[in-house]
Structures are given as C-alpha cells and as structure tokens.
C-alpha cells in the first residue's frame, strides 16, 4: 500500500513576497509551472510546481507522473542507483502511474491512457525525480471543468486499510496539494500546487510531503522532505540576506 505523509513549517519573515516568488522562480526555472496570487492585502500564495495534474492539448490528455526522489547534484551513477535500480523507488513510481491512469481513464476513449515516456530522470535544482508521461484521447465534449471535480484528494491515495492508522492532520493544508492552472482555446493546464508557500501577514507557511510504502526508511524520507523544501527555503534565505545588506 502507498500513502502520503507530510509536515509543515511556519517561518517569520517580513521580506517582500513578490521578491521571494521571483527568486524562487528564477532559481527553479526547470519546473513545470509557477504562480503568484494576491488573495488580499496581507495574504499571498506563490510557488513552483514540478508537475501537472493534467494538460489538454488539442484532443489529447497529457498527465505527468513525477514520483520517487533523490538528492540532485550527486552524479549520474548515484541517480541511477537511487532511482532506476532501487526497488522501493520503482514500486512507488509504478503505483503512481497505475493510480493516475485509472483516475483519468474514464475521460478518455476506450483505449484509456497509454504510457508514452516511461521512467526518465527529471533533474531539478535540489532534487531528481522519476518522470513518466501518460497520454489518452479525450472523449468528445470533455473539458477541464469535467475533470477538475474528480481530482481531490490530489495528494496521493488514501487506502481504506491505512485510514485507521493515520494521524489527524493538525496543521491545515491551506493551498498545499491544490491546483493552479489556466484555460484557453485548444489548451488547458492544471498543475499541482507543490513547493509553494502561503504568506499571511509576516509568516510564511510551507508544507512538504512524501510517498510512503512498506519498504520506506524513516530517515531517508525525512531527508527527502528537506531536499524538496530546500528550493523555497533557499529563496527565502537569499531574499533575507539581500534585505539585510540593503
């Protein structure tokens, strides 16, 4: 079985919110999507997403599967050992491909979703992921508005046999694990709101999660979460340093 574990951080910070977003986006240009929303005078949401939930391109549905993680910058041999040759990482990624394909198949023609790009290494600034692409032909008249209501909960599966063991989540998800996107003629894109922050007043709220299997190692999973959130933390640190020098 596979489920999701997460933890959150609340960081005092009075640096300009758009400066942090701009630095985060500049540092992490390899990501699939970035956003900055002003929700009211004191509340802002921003982040850089490593993957889509889906994109509609013409009449086709494209779905990224970005699952299984290792630290970046350690060389190709390390990446291959940690991702391609690691049974736990392979199992996690294949389980995610299966669940995503099953989720979107009802919106596609009879052939369902097809694996187009299997398990390549996606290299980002702080982490590397296994990345696959599945594609299906949309049924006539299906739009982004038909698909979005079926996405939640986005953040991974919640197997019934694990619910009795789950912790009550005392920290709100806020916008973490939601979606951002846009829609135009011939294209619609919906992206996971990960590697993101919600700023309320002078406090930055950030959350990070990881996929957990029976084979998971607690210390390794904790290291993975630190690596994932380090891109956002780096941008906050750089902006605070610049503010202090000014």
- Where in the chain are the domains? 3-245
CB neighbours (10 Å) of residue 54? 24
Taking all residues of the chain, what is their mean pLDDT, rounded to a whole number?
A: 86
Query: What's the rounded Cα separation, in Å, for the pair 138 and 104?
Result: 10
Q: Are 3 and 67 contacting, i.e. CB atoms less than 8 angstroms apart? A: no
Q: Top-level CATH class of 3-245? A: alpha beta
Two tokens, residue 216: 């998971």
**This prediction's pTM:** 0.84
What are the backbone dihedrals phi and psi of residue 139, each rounded to the nearest 5 degrees, phi first? -70, 150
pLDDT tens column, 127-154: 999 999 999 999 999 999 999 988 876 6
> Does residue 245 come out as left (phi exceeding 0), alpha (psi in the -120 to 50 range) or beta?
alpha
Instruction: Using alpha carbons, list the distances in angstroms from residue 198 to 24, 73, 205.
Output: 14, 28, 5
pLDDT tens column, 160-196: 665 566 666 666 666 777 889 999 988 999 998 888 8
pLDDT tens column, 62-104: 999 998 999 999 999 999 999 999 999 999 999 899 989 999 9
What are the backbone dihedrals phi and psi of residue 241, each rounded to the nearest 5 degrees, phi first? -60, -45
């Amino acid at each position: 079985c596979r489920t999701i574990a997460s933890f959150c951080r609340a960081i005092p910070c009075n640096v300009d919110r758009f400066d942090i977003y701009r630095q985060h986006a500049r540092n992490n240009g390899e990501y699939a999507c970035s956003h900055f929303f002003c929700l009211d005078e004191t509340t802002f949401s921003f982040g850089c997403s490593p993957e889509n939930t889906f994109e509609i391109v013409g009449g086709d549905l494209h779905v990224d599967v970005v699952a299984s993680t290792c630290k970046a910058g350690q060389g190709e041999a390390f990446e291959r050992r940690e991702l391609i040759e690691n049974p736990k990482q392979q199992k996690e990624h294949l389980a995610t491909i299966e669940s995503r394909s099953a989720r979107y198949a009802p919106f596609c023609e009879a052939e369902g979703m097809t694996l187009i790009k299997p398990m390549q290494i996606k290299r980002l600034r702080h982490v590397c992921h296994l990345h696959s692409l599945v594609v299906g032909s949309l049924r006539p008249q299906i739009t982004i508005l038909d698909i979005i209501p079926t996405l939640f909960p986005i953040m991974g599966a919640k197997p019934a046999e694990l619910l009795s063991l789950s912790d009550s989540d005392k920290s709100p998800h806020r916008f973490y694990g939601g979606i951002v996107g846009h829609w135009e003629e011939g294209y619609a894109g919906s992206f996971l709101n990960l590697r993101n922050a919600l700023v309320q007043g002078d406090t930055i709220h950030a959350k990070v999660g990881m996929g957990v299997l029976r084979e998971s190692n607690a210390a390794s999973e904790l290291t993975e979460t630190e690596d994932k959130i380090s891109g956002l933390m780096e941008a906050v640190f750089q902006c605070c340093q610049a503010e202090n020098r000014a």
